[in-house]
Amino acid sequence: MTVRIRTLDDAVDHARRGLKLTARVRLARRPIVLKVHPDLDIVEEQEAYLLGARFLFRAGDEDQVVDRIYVLGFPTEDPEETLLNRNVANGLLKEDYRRLKQAGIRLLEEPYFEE
């Protein structure tokens, strides 16, 4: 049986239908460059970063990967904004962990974003 998991909601739906899933989570702070976009008032390239997670779901011997982005930030932001971004990302991550566990998905770890 081939399992298709493209979103966390897909994983929750499969688990609620009885599919035994485990999940590993890897967090990343990924640097990106926002390109010029006059309609969005971006008139020059800007460095930014994404706080995101890669969920690796395993059902039997099959693996499925779901990437989720939680926050977009900028290296030039002040320390309070950086802390706020991290707290927002961790709050959303905590809610995702709760939903997955509630559906019966076994999380092998529950990492959070740190400094």
Percent above pLDDT 70 for the chain: 96
Residues in the chain: 115
Predicted local distance difference test score (pLDDT) of residue 34: 83
Considering just the CA atoms, what is the radius of gyration of the chain in Å?
Answer: 17
Compute the distance between CA of residue 15 and CA of residue 17 in angstroms, rounded to an integer.
Answer: 5
**pLDDT, position 40:** 65
- The band of 35, judged by pLDDT with boundaries at 50, 70 and 90, is confident
φ, ψ (nearest 5 deg) of residue 92:
-70, -40
- State yes or no: pLDDT of 1 exceeds 60: no
Q: Which tens digit of pLDDT belongs to each residue from 37-79? A: 777 676 788 899 999 999 999 988 899 999 999 999 999 999 9
Instruction: Write the CA distances from 67 to 26, 63, 70, integer angstroms.
Output: 10, 13, 10
Rounded to two decimals, the pTM is 0.89
pLDDT of residue 42: 65
pLDDT at 3: 79
Model confidence pLDDT, tens digit, residues 81-92: 999 999 999 999
pLDDT given for residue 63 in this prediction:
93
- Residue in 67, 59, 65, 66 with CA at minimum distance from that of residue 2: 59
